[in-house]
Structure 1
């Protein structure tokens, strides 16, 4: 799925949702969520190219695989969180969107804790402790 297809699908869906909202808000929300899921599935087919490139970078740079795993998990958490937050906002639930956003930030922080630990160890070793 290319960006032109995604954009056209999104714009057409928004137009239909705007027309449906006054008469049937529930269908409008479901249509918007359905379109979002279709776009997400279409984009996820590109993940294999990303993984291949990251594997090449790891092989050529000597970066620890653990760091790459943390990076990929964090990116995944951010993408899922953004999707959920936007869906909540579109459905009119700002407080739920804020809670999901906070949960995503906490999960990224927890995921990165091993990285913080390694950085602290490196700093302490450079300081001579």
Structure 2
């Protein structure tokens, strides 16, 4: 199972980080970053399957490509911001991590506005 590989990689990185924290604390942040990048790069291989599935979904249902693009962008923003926020928290920079999270939430709201406006227009069309 692939999830077990990822969990074991993460747990190994965490245990090595705890071990290094007692010896050289600055290296534990680098190790955490390296483990996170390894897990993130493994995930990017799965993204091709996700994109092909979304395109197949679009073939079956007449959905505007802009909506699917916005959905994929929102998903990417969520993963990237959570990754960066977690690294910042591990390094002891919680304030920066919080700012990354706030910006990501606001940016997702900005990306969702065209979808929300299209939904409101559709509802208005039904009510008129």
Tell me, yes or no, whether TM beats 0.5: yes
In structure 1, the gaps of 5 or more residues are none
Matches within 5 A, 1:25-104: 25-104=25-104
CA deviation string 1:52-83 (max 9, x = no partner): 11111100111221110110011011111110
Shift of 1:2: 2.0
CA RMSD of aligned residues (A): 1.3
Separation of aligned partners in 2, 1:8 and 1:74: 28
| Length, aligned pairs only | 128
Q: Residue 22 of structure 1: CA displacement?
A: 2.0
How far apart are 1:42 and its partner, in Å?
A: 1.0
Structure 2 CA distance for aligned equivalents of residues 127 and 5 of structure 1:
52
Length-normalised TM-score, structure 2: 0.94
C-alpha distance in 1 between matches for 2:61 and 2:75: 20
Query: Aligned-pair distance for 1:127?
Result: 2.2
Q: Distance in 2 between matches of 1:59 and 1:19?
A: 51
Query: Aligned equivalents of 1:99 and 1:105: distance in 2?
Result: 10
Structure 2: stretches of 5+ with no match in the other structure: none
More divergent stretch after superposition (73-82 vs 2-11): 2-11
Question: What TM-score comes out, normalization by structure 1 length?
Answer: 0.94
